[in-house]
Amino acid sequence: MRGYAISKDDYQKRLRRIEGQVRGLQRMIDEETYCVDVLTQISSVTKALQAVALGLLDEHVRHCVTHAEGRDGAEDPDHMINEAMQAFERLLRT
């Protein structure tokens, strides 16, 4: 799927924040922060990444549905749903 352009800025903002959080983790390790606090921060970064993933999946599935209506032949919704379900499963198994 192309064209998640509408919320592209939103994704970029989230990813820049996540990048900052990962740099924060480096500082925490550098300063030998109590490891339980580092783990809490890792949970929070993971949650932020999953929110990005859920946003992308949501758009993908909606795109499959919209596209199915059109049937313009450019893309195969069945194939796209297979890929979405495999992506689902990978996220679930991570």
Other Cβ atoms closer than 10 A to 56: 16
Binding mask 13-42 for its own copies (x = CB under 8 A): --xx-xx--xx-xx--xx-x-xxx-xxx-x
What is the x/- site pattern for its own copies, positions 62-91, by CB under 8 A?
Answer: x-xxx-xx-x-----xx--x-xxxxxxxxx
How many CB atoms are closer than 10 A to CB 15? 13
The pair of structure tokens assigned to 6 is: 């509408």
Burial tier of 43 (Cβ tally within 10 Å: 0-12, 13-18, 19+): exposed
Residues near its own copies (CB under 8 A): 1-5, 8, 11-12, 15-16, 18-19, 22-23, 25-26, 29-30, 32, 34-36, 38-40, 42-43, 45-47, 49-50, 52-54, 56-62, 64-66, 68-69, 71, 77-78, 81, 83-94
